[in-house]
Structure 1
Amino acid sequence: MYGLIGKLLAAPGKRVDLLEILMEGNARMPGCLSYVVAIDPASTDGIWVTEVWDNKDSHAASLQLPRVQQMIARARPIIAGFGERFETEPLGGVGLLPQTVAAED
């Protein structure tokens, strides 16, 4: 599995507008196992997006979907910036099938 956790910063006073656009992105996408949009309670403009995909290629392919391209175009003008961004390798959890833990070198 492939995971992404990223922080977006909305333009001042535009967080609700950006949240509404991001929530429209919750429609099923091939390979998307989880897509969660959350308010950052420590920031008036912060939004966290947590995603889990079956693999990295599925995430990359999703960015080419017409509806995702439209969502990005609508969101871009009200995104003031980005904060932290983390790539992860999810092993399982509620709603996810458990993965085998590989031995570390």
Structure 2
Amino acid sequence: MTFVNAGTLGAVAGRRDELVAHLTRRNDALRQVGCQLYEVGVSDDQPDTVFVAEVWDSAEAHRASLQLPEVQEAIAAARPMLSGEFGGFRFDVVGSPLHD
């Protein structure tokens, strides 16, 4: 069952663009473990917030990705850019009007 993880990451003041650059670096390992979509965005209304939407083959694939050395290293490198404010939600997809 497809799994979605969508959320917000608070960035340290003035480091949002640096965090975006970090999060958007190519990482082919994510696709290999079941990431279908990983989109990063910003809003001028929230200058210290980064928005992330992820679509995975399953919740298990998402959990497995967190064990990858590449992902562990990316998380460690991002920590100094994060303010500690996080938000979001997760859900299992049950359908869509865009496909059968």
CA distance in 2, matches of 1:38, 1:57: 25
Counting matched residue pairs gives: 96
Alignment partners' CA distance in 1, 2:78 and 2:40: 14
Closer/same/farther in 2, CA of residues 93 and 15 from structure 1, 3 Å limit? farther
Aligned to 2:49: 46
1:92 is displaced (CA, Å) by 4.4
Q: What is the TM-score normalised by the length of structure 2?
A: 0.84
Structure 2: where are the runs of 5+ without partners?
none
Q: Report the Cα distance in structure 2 between the residues aligned to 1:73 and 1:89, rounded to whole angstroms.
A: 27
**Structure 2 counterpart of 1:2:** 3
Return the letter of the residue paired with 1:21: H
> Structure 1 length normalisation: TM-score?
0.81
| Equivalent residues of 1:11, 1:78 under 8 A apart | yes
Indicate which of 73, 76, 83 corresponds to 1:73: 76
With over 3 angstroms needed to count, the CA separation of the structure-2 counterparts of 1:36 and 1:93, relative to structure 1, is farther
Aligned-residue identity in percent: 35
Asked if the contact 2:29/2:70 (under 8 Å) is kept, the reply is no
Q: Which residue of 2 aligns with 1:63?
A: 66
- The alignment's C-alpha RMSD in Å is 1.9
Structure with greater helix percent: 2
Whichever residue aligns with residue 22 of structure 1, its letter is L
Alpha-carbon distance in structure 1 between the residues aligned to 2:75 and 2:97: 28
